[in-house]
Amino acid sequence: MGRLGGYRYRDIVTRLKQLGFQFDRQAAGSHEIWFNASGGRYTTIPNHPGDMPEGTLRAILKQAGVSPEQFIG
């Protein structure tokens, strides 16, 4: 497991809120769209139980324009 392994949906959302993201709307199925007004960026977050796969979290961060270092804090 890498640096970004072991994060759950709730942990990811909490950290993204601290970085200025807010819930925008519900997407298809269990996915949610989050928006950062200051950066004008959107990201899609799947709301699934259990740990988020590291590759999925990296894709979320890339879409959000957040580096892994910023996310880990």
Rounded to two decimals, the pTM is: 0.93
What is the pLDDT at residue 13?
A: 97
**Token code pair at residue 10:** 């709730």
Say how far apart CA 51 and CA 27 lie, in whole Å: 20
Please choose, from the candidates 50, 44, 49, 6, the residue with its C-alpha nearest in 3D space to the C-alpha of residue 25.
44
The string of pLDDT tens digits covering residues 30-51 is: 999 999 999 999 999 999 999 9
Residue spans per domain, the chain: 9-65
Q: Is CATH 2.60.120.200 what the domain over 9-65 is classified as, yes or no?
A: no
